[in-house]
């Protein structure tokens, strides 16, 4: 069972890197995020109707998660305003595994085996090192917001890891988070683009946004289920292998360089993932 859950987390990582690439390439990120909200709203509206209500103790986590998701997206938009995709994405994602490790220890009393803890550290260090290469300059805005994004990721990961367990039903928990979070997100984008006319002005962007929403929705539903079977810090570290996919996407589709240093960093991340699995 554990092997199957690990494979689901890795598939989630690929989905996550893909929708982030769409967001990075978008000429109107606010509108794309608004269109991403549409699949979330449809699925979550159905989910809250057919799934049992989360346990009362889960509601503070649901509200906190929705607020943190908002902060995460705002920070991510600012980070992507400048800088390479294969630079910003690893910085944002690389910070979170170690922070989640500490948060899970403090708030969920999870203690990893020494090899798994070493694996988490290797994944985090390897991912952050993916962001650096010789002759590469950081913009004044991109890196601080990428770091802030990582802080939001770590915080909502711990909140969701605990909340999904308290709720009694992981899918019911995340459906309510998605509903509360995406209603204002959609309304903001709707107002931003002038209402219904935005659907016809940028139809290609609408399609990309909806496709990105489907990918993002699937990716995090898999993660929420994984939290029920594996330690939070382990799931967080494994899902950050999405940074390797991000580097490959940047190299193949965006013309970004794949240096020896980055290949070594990818190997470090992979070694960390192996230690976590062992």
**Could you write out the DSSP letters of every residue in 68-116?**
HHHHHHHHHHHHTTSS-HHHHHHHHHHSHHHHHHHHHHHHS-----HHH
pLDDT at 194: 58
Q: How far apart are the first and last CA of the chain?
A: 14
What predicted TM-score, i.e. pTM, was given to this entire model? 0.74
What is the C-alpha separation between 237 and 93, in angstroms, rounded?
Answer: 9
For 118, counting Cβ atoms within 10 Å of its Cβ (0-12 exposed, 13-18 middle, 19+ buried), the class is middle
- Nearest CA-CA partner of 40 in 178, 240, 221, 235: 178
pLDDT given at position 73:
83
pLDDT value at residue 260: 78
Residues of the chain with pLDDT under 70: 1, 82-84, 86, 130-141, 192-202, 276-278
**Considering just the CA atoms, what is the radius of gyration of the chain in Å?**
18
CB atoms within 10 A of CB 208: 20
d(CA 63, CA 57): 12
Confidence at residue 55, expressed as pLDDT on a 0 to 100 scale: 94
CB 250 within 8 A of CB 86: yes
Residue ranges covered by each domain of the chain: 2-277
CB-count exposure of residue 140 (10 Å: 0-12, 13-18, 19+): exposed
Helix axes of 203-227 and 2-25: crossing angle, nearest 10 degrees? 150
């Amino acid at each position: 069972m554990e092997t199957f859950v690990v494979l689901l987390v890795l598939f989630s990582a690929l989905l996550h890197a893909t929708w982030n690439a769409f967001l990075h390439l978008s000429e109107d990120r606010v509108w794309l995020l608004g269109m991403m909200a549409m699949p979330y709203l449809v699925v979550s509206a159905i989910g809250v109707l057919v799934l049992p209500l989360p346990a009362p103790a889960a509601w503070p986590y649901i509200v906190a998660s929705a607020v943190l998701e908002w902060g995460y997206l705002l920070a991510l938009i600012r980070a992507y305003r400048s800088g390479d995709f294969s630079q910003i994405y690893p910085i944002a994602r690389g910070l979170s595994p170690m922070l989640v490790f500490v948060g899970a220890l403090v708030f969920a009393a999870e203690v990893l085996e020494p090899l798994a803890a070493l694996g988490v550290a290797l994944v985090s260090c390897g991912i952050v090192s993916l962001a650096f290469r010789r002759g590469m300059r950081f913009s004044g805005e991109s890196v601080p917001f990428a770091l802030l994004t990582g802080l939001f990721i770590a915080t909502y990961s711990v909140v969701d890891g605990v909340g999904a367990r308290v709720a009694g039903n992981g899918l019911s928990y995340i459906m309510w988070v998605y509903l509360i979070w995406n209603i204002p997100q959609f309304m903001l984008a709707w107002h931003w683009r002038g209402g219904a006319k935005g659907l016809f002005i940028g139809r290609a962007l609408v399609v990309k946004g909806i496709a990105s929403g489907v990918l993002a929705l699937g990716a995090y539903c898999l993660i929420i289920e994984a939290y029920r079977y594996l330690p939070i810090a382990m799931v967080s570290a494994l899902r950050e292998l999405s940074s390797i996919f991000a580097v490959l996407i940047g190299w193949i589709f965006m013309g970004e360089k794949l240096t020896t240093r980055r290949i070594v960093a990818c190997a470090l991340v992979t070694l960390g993932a192996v230690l976590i699995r062992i």
